[in-house]
Amino acid sequence: SANGVFTDKPAITSDINRVSADPEACGPIYLAFSIFDGVMSNGNFRTKLMFTRSIDCGDSWLNPFKINGNVNTNQGLAVAVDPNNGHVYAIWRSLQPNQIMMAKSTNGGLNFSSPAVISGGVFAAFDQPTAPTPDYSFRSNAFPTVAIDAAGRVHVAWQARRSSLGSPLIYGTMSSTGGNTWSPPRPLQPQWSDTPPRGSGWALDGVPAGTTRIAGPQLMPSYVFSRGRLMLLYYEAHGDISPTFF
């Protein structure tokens, strides 16, 4: 709205019921979202991140509460549950400065830890607006994605520039300590061999098979863990082909 007050970008996930012996019992549903609640004195929008849960199949909900602490400019929430213990992780981007943040709940979403930086500091965000001819770009922002594997390792990825004016790659970090420590962020696919994967039907653009290419630009990552496999999907544009990697 004109005064900078509106609700945006919900994220939802769920868990199994960890207290009932009934296999059909509802597990908790977790919902998080952003609220733009005004304009700060410097002219920037102020946002708070809200969290709520339901433990009765969505019939009633906990009063939403703020989880972003004293961080005033936030967006792009992603929420995941550790399948081993039910701990809830909220991951998002702080916009001033550009950092990836985390807060964690160990009591089923009743409260969260103070926000912590997990991106290793400030990163060079790639944010692209929608633009008509002649540029033809689509909106894409450096918001994180998160997945937790069967061993409880937390995987987070986001798009960032290689340098201050460089094209974007997908960067990632991982925690095997319940979010207490994180690996140094790094490009997850900085280069690739120009050989079609098994079963692929893409047409090569005249480059000999096996040629190693510098990857990118890469955009809009999405993590998922299922049946023992951690999968990262994203868009990549290069020459006359546009592979999607798994």
The β-bridge partners of 239 are: none
Between CA 58 and CA 39 the distance in angstroms is 33
pLDDT along the chain (246 residues), means of 10: 77 95 93 88 82 97 96 93 98 94 97 97 88 78 96 97 84 97 93 56 54 78 95 79 47
Q: In 3-state terms, what secondary structure has residue 207? A: coil
List the beta strands (DSSP E) in the chain: 5-14, 29-39, 45-54, 65-66, 74-81, 88-95, 98-105, 116-117, 145-148, 154-161, 168-175, 186-187, 191-193, 212-214, 218-226, 229-236
Give the model's pLDDT for residue 1.
Answer: 53
Give the model's pLDDT for residue 3.
Answer: 62
How long, in residues, is the chain? 246
pTM: predicted TM-score of the whole model, two decimal places = 0.87
The CA distances from residue 105 to 74, 82, 151, in Å, are 19, 10, 18
Give the model's pLDDT for residue 209.
Answer: 61
